[in-house]
Amino acid sequence: MPEPIKRGRKRKARKIRKGKGVRNNPDGTVSTHKMATYTGEGGKHYVAPTIAPDEKGVYKPQSFTQALAKGEVFQFKNKKRADKFAKGSWKKGKKYK
């Protein structure tokens, strides 16, 4: 199983869903990444997408284990930074607190 991503997180987050379609949200926006923060042992914090496209480009729920198997889990030492990343700090042109 791939290791969590620790370096180059923003660049890698931008690439994992490129050209895979979008998920239409109830508010009219679209998503390619809906992420959640998870806390692990030893004070490590992880961020992983909670949705993923299937073969047809339709987005379905994705578990932490599935994201880890795909190499889409990002590791942080700081919970605040992990939460900020999950909210979209990796996106270009946006400011997240």
pTM greater than the 0.85 cutoff: no
Give the whole-angstrom CA distance, residue 88 versus residue 31: 11
Domain boundaries, given as residue ranges, for the chain: 9-86
- Give the CA angle between residues 97, 50, 34 to the nearest 5°: 40
Give the count of alpha carbons within 13 A of 20, CB side only: 17
pLDDT tens for 49-93 read 998 888 877 778 899 999 999 999 999 999 999 999 998 887 776
Q: Which is higher by pLDDT, 47 or 55?
A: 47
Name the average pLDDT for the chain.
84
For the residues 21-45, what does the mean pLDDT come to? 80
Round to whole Å and give the CA distance between 64 and 41: 15
